[in-house]
Amino acid sequence: MTVTVLTLLKRREGMSKADFIAYYESKHRVIGEKVLSGWASRYERLHLHPLDGQTVTHDFDVVLEIDFPDQATCDACFAAMADPAIMDEIVTDEERLFDRSRMRTYSVERHRSNLQAENA
């Protein structure tokens, strides 16, 4: 059974949204791909843009979703990431990008509705 890990991330103070996305997608994403390769089946970043167009400060700027084929693989991946050299690389780059005090990580329990679109 697929295990999904969801992390809510906030960009560091003083970093523009455009710079945040550019850095994440060109640099931090590569670290994630390297660390998750062989463990995760999906690594997706959902950059949030308010529908109201407001430029006010929001709680989070990106939702990170990672799928693992099962709980054992998820646990093994997180254990491997705890290696000091790997953790140092991750944390050093996170400090360039995120407000680490605001990071929140969850396991996901999915419930899905089946909706039918009506033809008008």
Are 65 and 42 in contact by the 8 Å Cβ rule? The answer is: yes
- Domain assignment of residue 113, yes or no: no
Q: What's the CATH code of the domain at 10? A: 3.30.70.100
The contacts of residue 9 (CB under 8 Å, 6+ apart) are: 60, 61, 62, 63, 64, 98, 102, 103
Q: Which residues span the domain enclosing 17?
A: 3-107
**Counted domains in the chain:** 1
Q: List the alpha helices (DSSP H) in the chain.
A: 17-23, 29-36, 71-81, 84-97
pTM: 0.88
- Domain assignment of residue 119, yes or no: no
Q: Tens of pLDDT along 50-98?
A: 888 777 677 899 999 999 999 999 999 999 999 999 999 999 999 999 9
Check whether 102 has a pLDDT greater than 80. Answer: yes
Integer CA distances (angstroms), 83 to 66, 78, 89, 98, in order: 19, 9, 10, 21
